[in-house]
Amino acid sequence: MSNLSVKLQVPNGKEITLPTGLFINNEFVKGNSEEKLESIDPATEQPICSVEIAAASDVDAAVQAARAAFNNPPWRDLPGEGRSKLLHKAADLMEQHLDELFAIQSMDVGKPYASSRQMEGAHLVGTLRYFAGWADKIHGQTIPVNKDKFAYTLKQPVGVCAAISPWNYPLTNSGWKLGPALATGNCIILKPSEYSPLSSLYLAKLFKEAGYPPGVVQVLNGYGKTTGEMLTTHLGIDKIAFTGSTATGRRVIQAAAVNMKKTTIEAGGKSACIIFDDADLEQAAKWAAVGGFGNAGQICSANSRILVQEGAEEKFLAIFAAVAKATKVGKPFDADTTQGPQTSKMQFDKVLGYIEDAKQLGAKLVTGGGPLRETGNSNKGYFIQPTVFSGEEVFGPAPAVTTFKTEEEASALANNSTYGLAAMIFTENIKVAHRTAARLQAGIIWVNESNNFDWKLPFGGFKQSGLGRELGQSSLEAYLEEKVVHVNCGLQL
């Protein structure tokens, strides 16, 4: 074991050798920062390990390596079929190492291991395979202008990309960025959140094993305000893909303007879940729990605002409270756990603060409403009870329920937000579903379900929920430049 790796004893019985260095030019190296980034297990509040932090000189080295790789024939001239094979190979390796990847993620961020390995693991692998399928299908158009002129367009990679991924879905969200960037022929530098630094390093190891040339995929750990800002302002980077808060997204856009980097921003949301009185309330409550308590409520598209038609409120609240109480909060590696801890002490304190604010503002507490420290034999961990309010919304496992009378009022309430990431509609009337979907100002509309993602479909929002889309065919355009070639076929001056 080198001083740039550590052996992790995982609660599911595995021992994993985890790299802890910066991944630059296909090597794990020591950073030039004197600081280290410590990862804390949110279920135990104990340190897991420390990893290297990228200083400005390390960011420069990674950008130079990426630029060299982008201009180097082994990657520059690799046809789409070759890029497709590499991405498929990476996906195969991830499928083989899902146990390790998701055990590391569960220790790092507190996700229930069994469910995240199954669902997020399938999503990560499926995402990379989907974009691998696009790699040899990226082409321009031929445009016959007139008898004297012919033109064609070329779709070419942007160049060196930086991806800043969030702490709530470190592996799957990294796949959302790595897949389209690599399928289109770019080089990419991934910066994980400082609250989830570990799993991306194991991911880097697998990309190297898949055969990617040096400099094509790199991972730099560090803080958003330092390493993240160095990436967003660096003149050698051509594109930024960011997922995180709206406030930070604004700063990324401003910083990227220094050289007019292309940007994809996936920011926050206060998504409305509209439940009409003709809906299957049992199913609506179960789906609302998926979108409200899933990932400990730490989902940017969480259905934090539940709007119930007046005639169904009492029955829905009773069912939803029962579902909330049945949610098993526990340690990530316990087989029956369905909700783990909040990812960090910061998030734990913030959510509890929001819950207290909601109480002070007069919101009615239906169930939950506080920390849950009694897990096993310990009194540790950032666990919060599944909470239901009637009145105020909270970013965490605490959706709020309010009422409406008409279709028009439901849409108006749902749209009364600076955000527009997602919305949910529950009704048995397909006409009502389509009318409401058309009225809602949100990028993703789920009908009779919530937060059921698919890598073939674009993900992104309206208003202050972001710029551009991830996933689906449309996400490829963010990683491509279009060039037009004019050919004079006979016009003479």
Task: Find, among 104, 125, 110, the residue nearest to 17 by Cα.
Answer: 104
What phi and psi values does residue 31 have, to the nearest 5 degrees?
Answer: -80, 160
Please indicate whether residue 266 is annotated as part of the active site: yes
CB neighbour list of residue 447: distance below 8 Å, 6 or more residues apart: 424, 425, 426, 427, 433, 437
| Separation between Cα atoms, residue 231 and residue 234, nearest integer Å | 5
| Separation between Cα atoms, residue 410 and residue 225, nearest integer Å | 39
User: How do beta strands 187-191 and 217-219 pair?
Assistant: parallel
CB 408 within 8 A of CB 436: no
Q: What is the DSSP letter of 476?
A: G
CB 467 within 8 A of CB 263: yes
The single residue of 120, 266, 393, 470 carrying the catalytic annotation is: 266
| Separation between Cα atoms, residue 435 and residue 410, nearest integer Å | 12
Task: Find, among 129, 444, 84, the residue nearest to 271 by Cα.
Answer: 444
Active site residues: 266
